Structure 1
């Protein structure tokens, strides 16, 4: 298949690299460095969105937020109008479900099929090809995309119709953000109670009450080095989309609202480009001030 990948950030460039041996791959990104790196390994570098998709059977997008997806997909300069009729657009971006349903409608009006397929996993699973894809859309469209998804991930969950992949990703990130906040707050209290940071990072993440992802985050906290696997500013964005989605469904989210305020404060304090586990560093500095 002719495949196009648009959006080569922390996740996208690794996902695209895992596709390289298995298709004819064209890549596009607003900044040139990841495009050049993939082109050196055999991908075709596109100079514009419309050129990137002109011959594509499947187009993947992995972009930061709904506004960026809309800007690159819709309108006269967007890639939708240049995609071949009946080709397939797979949006792996983390966006709100109502936006995914809108994207599906706009795509259909342009003669394009659509899947929302956000991922569970951060940079390391993207590198290893072990992401989980949460897919909303038609079974037949998923079957076309499946061989490609299987090169980038180890699990595919078909969650239902358009928007349901994005909806399930909202639930996952709601738990992820809050679990990190609880862990940071708890371990800081533990140090005040006389336990060493080493002891807490060695034991708490491995208890049955702890989320498995905390094992890796404990290592970042232990060393005070927060190289972004999942940037804090994107977690804040996802909590904003979660809050918007909850409002659309008239569902109060008390705990998530508190978590959003914490991440917003950490972002304002300069941790936006750090991994979201830097919430621990923010709470620690706030506690010392």
Structure 2
């Protein structure tokens, strides 16, 4: 939980993608004694302690271990493949930890490319938002070979409170979709409850204050309710990413024949919220629903 001993075979960690979550992971890894370098497509970062390099290949050439933290399948493919991609610069035996939330198909493609280049690949998406990343209290959901998970453990321990080895390659990705599907579907139900209460004439602050106290609402969703009560949604987890993840879940659920009508409805609700609040936190779904019945109130 941010205080793990440094893996002596890993001194420099290279990030591919260095946004809000990765910056916070990088800060905890730096506290644990690692040097951090990164590739950012824009060439800019919100902090000044990390050396930025021009390509994923350049990062792989200088790093002992790679952490990929990109928004979607297309960004993962761009980062990994081609003459300037990760595998063009990675050395045999190097570990690549893909913390991105992507499709099972993208995870399989990355694993296959890793084998072709003699590079060890783990799918290791995290459960948690920016507050957990800040405190080094993420839960890492890892798929891959047990020996590779053990090799990555000191690095994972520096950014997390728990490491779940979910199974072989791809298992971490699938477990992350389960977690995010539950998050999204639960938020939709919370939003519907809020809308019923308002339509039924309950005082707005009384409603929100009561929901902040009851055990049936998780601490995570209580944070979303507090933001909705204030009418401000700073992006701990942007709606565009949650909407993307719900779409991935529905697609793969169709492929495996899973019955998920509640999650399908939530995916549609979040797609609607995404039109209005793409870069706001996904808790803005509550605000979008509230706006639909109280058009004079900003949300």
Q: Is the deviation greater in 103-112 or in 193-202?
A: 193-202
**CA displacement, residues 227-262 of structure 1 (integer Å, 9 cap, x when unaligned):** 100000111100110011112212232112111111
Aligned: 1:18 with 2:24: no
- Aligned equivalents of 2:25 and 2:95: distance in 1? 17
Residue in structure 2 matching 1:85, options 78, 88, 92:
92
**CA displacement, residues 115-159 of structure 1 (integer Å, 9 cap, x when unaligned):** 000000001111111111000011111111111111111111110
Residue in structure 1 matching 2:244, options 218, 237, 251:
237
Where 1:89 maps in the other structure, the secondary structure is strand
Q: Is the 8 A contact 2:14 2:63 kept in 1?
A: yes
- Aligned equivalents of 2:117 and 2:254: distance in 1? 30
Residue in structure 1 matching 2:280, options 265, 274, 285:
274
Q: Is the deviation greater in 225-234 or in 192-201?
A: 192-201
Which residue of structure 1 lines up, in the alignment, with residue 39 of structure 2?
A: 28
> Unaligned regions of 5+ residues in structure 1, if any?
none
Q: Is the 8 A contact 1:55 1:84 kept in 2?
A: no
- Aligned equivalents of 1:204 and 1:218: distance in 2? 8
- The count of residues paired between Structure 1 and Structure 2 equals 284
Residue in structure 2 matching 1:49, options 38, 53, 56:
56
- Aligned equivalents of 2:58 and 2:83: distance in 1? 13
Q: Is the 8 A contact 1:188 1:284 kept in 2?
A: yes
Which residue of structure 2 lines up, in the alignment, with residue 188 of structure 1?
A: 195
**CA displacement, residues 49-95 of structure 1 (integer Å, 9 cap, x when unaligned):** 21111032210010001111011101223111211111010000001
TM-score if structure 2 supplies the norm length? 0.91
Residue in structure 2 matching 1:197, options 198, 204, 210:
204
Q: Give the drift of 1:222.
A: 1.1
Which residue of structure 2 lines up, in the alignment, with residue 110 of structure 1?
A: 117
Higher share in helix: 1
The 5 Å alignment of 1:32-181 reads 32-34=43-45, 37=47, 40-41=48-49, 43-181=50-188
- Aligned equivalents of 2:52 and 2:193: distance in 1? 47
Q: Give the drift of 1:204.
A: 1.8
**CA displacement, residues 181-219 of structure 1 (integer Å, 9 cap, x when unaligned):** 111111121123232222222222432322331121121
TM-score if structure 1 supplies the norm length? 0.94
Where 2:15 maps in the other structure, the secondary structure is strand
Where 2:44 maps in the other structure, the secondary structure is helix
- Aligned equivalents of 2:115 and 2:211: distance in 1? 49
Runs of 4+ in 1 over 6 A off after TM superposition: none
- Aligned equivalents of 2:225 and 2:202: distance in 1? 15
Q: Is the 8 A contact 1:5 1:26 kept in 2?
A: yes
